[in-house]
């Protein structure tokens, strides 16, 4: 039995809106570690290093040291951070797997993502794009749905692995539309997109940044965007919510710390990272590199967001019997 997400996450976040501003707080008085749950060179690493490069400007010259701990869908990093002291010296660039749904995907996970962390600040959302091989005649989400209903189990979709965002985004689409397709998991986003443009699969649901070049080159076509309003990175491509009202999902990242952090320290860390992520130069870099949107807020808002993510993916994972192990 899993704990109630709302109770545990909000308890971890604490009563933070009442915390006083801590402009004179000594944090940070030494270098801070930012644990990144994926390898160097990927989207999460790029975001982390973008933030780290501006850290000293808002902390009196202190440094944010990026430390990559990849593996097991981010849960190796999650397990490490969960064991650290909540003293502000070790933070984590959060991800849905390591910090929300990890135990659903990895039942033997040695920590509970819903109780092991203090949410501090939501940083960015990276939209996904429903893509199709050029041989698919459908050009809109409605046409894809109609074609798939006419050919139950006749289409395949590629993903970057069981439980990966590209898998879950597609499963949510299929569930909302009442469809079935054959899932073909690969080991990475690059392999997933390659399989799609090669014609080994008819559909895929990567992040916009992962599929953008293939779309621009005409080797794949964009059908719909995963967030309401679409994205300026693919102008003219409608949101999936225009066809399936309420569909709204993205890859997201933020800053979390080990559970039990003192509310005043949480407020101070939130303040620093909010200043960094809302810099015009950082916003532009996040969009250029990842088609991402900056979405800061309070620790309590981030806690609520994580709880909603858990509740969104819980039925998808359980009904689909999705396991990453």
pLDDT in tens, 281-321: 999 999 999 999 999 999 999 999 999 999 999 999 999 99
The Cβ-side half-sphere exposure at 85, using a 13 Å CA radius, reads 4
**Does the pLDDT value for residue 15 go beyond 50?**
no
**Does the pLDDT value for residue 153 go beyond 80?**
no
Residues 6+ apart with CB under 8 A from 173: 130, 179, 205, 240, 244, 247
Q: How far is Cα 194 from Cα 86, in angstroms, rounded to an integer?
A: 42
Closest-CA residue to 162 (of 97, 98, 251): 97
Q: How far is Cα 53 from Cα 21, in angstroms, rounded to an integer?
A: 24
Q: What is the mean pLDDT of the chain?
A: 92
pLDDT in tens, 64-119: 999 999 999 999 999 999 999 999 999 999 999 999 999 999 999 999 999 999 99
- For residue 273, what are its two tokens? 């990272």
Q: ∠ CA 235-51-274 to the nearest 5 degrees? A: 85
pLDDT in tens, 179-234: 999 999 998 888 999 999 999 999 999 999 999 999 999 999 999 999 999 999 99
Q: Cβ atoms within 10 A of the Cβ of 312, count? A: 17
Task: Give the residue-averaged pLDDT of 27-41.
Answer: 96
Beta carbons of 194 and 183 less than 8 angstroms apart: no
Please report which confidence band the pLDDT of residue 25 belongs to, taking 50, 70 and 90 as the band edges. Answer: low
- For residue 131, what are its two tokens? 């893509």
Residues 6+ apart with CB under 8 A from 230: 237, 238, 239
Closest-CA residue to 230 (of 218, 239, 217): 239
- For residue 18, what are its two tokens? 């009442």
CA–chain centroid gap for 229, Å, is 18
pLDDT at 16: 42
**Residue written as token pair 């916003």:** 283
pTM of the model: 0.90
Please report which confidence band the pLDDT of residue 154 belongs to, taking 50, 70 and 90 as the band edges. Answer: confident
DSSP string, 73-121: GGHHHHHHHHTS-SSSSEEEE--HIIIIIHHHH-TT-SS-TTTSEEEEE
Of the candidate ranges 89-103, 145-159, 256-270, the one whose mean pLDDT is the lowest:
145-159
């Amino acid at each position: 039995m899993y704990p109630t997400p709302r109770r545990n996450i909000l308890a971890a976040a604490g009563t933070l809106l009442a915390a006083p501003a801590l402009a004179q707080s000594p944090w940070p008085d030494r270098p801070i570690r930012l644990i990144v749950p994926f390898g160097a060179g990927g989207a999460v690493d790029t975001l982390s290093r973008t933030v780290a490069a501006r850290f000293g400007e808002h902390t009196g010259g202190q440094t944010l040291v990026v430390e990559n701990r990849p593996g097991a869908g981010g849960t190796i990093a999650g397990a490490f951070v969960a064991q650290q002291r909540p003293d502000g010296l070790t933070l984590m660039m959060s991800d849905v797997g390591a910090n929300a749904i990890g135990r659903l995907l990895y039942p033997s996970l040695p920590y509970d993502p819903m109780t092991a962390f203090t949410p501090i600040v939501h940083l960015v959302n990276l939209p996904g794009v429903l893509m199709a091989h050029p041989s698919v005649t459908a050009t809109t989400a409605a046409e894809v749905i109609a074609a798939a209903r006419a050919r139950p189990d006749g289409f395949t979709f590629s993903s970057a692995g069981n439980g990966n965002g590209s898998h879950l985004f597609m499963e949510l689409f299929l569930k909302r539309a009442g469809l079935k397709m054959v899932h073909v998991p690969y080991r990475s986003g690059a392999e997933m997109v390659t399989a799609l443009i090669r014609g080994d699969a008819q559909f895929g649901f990567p992040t916009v940044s992962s599929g953008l070049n293939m779309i621009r080159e005409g080797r794949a076509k964009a059908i719909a965007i995963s967030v309401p309003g679409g994205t300026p990175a693919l102008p003219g491509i409608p949101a999936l919510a225009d066809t399936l009202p309420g569909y709204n999902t993205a890859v997201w990242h933020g800053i979390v710390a080990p559970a039990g952090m003192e509310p005043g320290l949480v407020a101070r860390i939130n303040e620093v990272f909010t200043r960094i992520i809302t810099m015009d130069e950082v916003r532009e870099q996040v969009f250029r590199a990842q088609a991402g949107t900056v979405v800061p807020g309070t620790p309590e808002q981030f806690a609520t967001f994580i709880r909603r993510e858990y509740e969104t993916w819980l039925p998808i994972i359980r009904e689909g019997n999705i396991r990453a192990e």
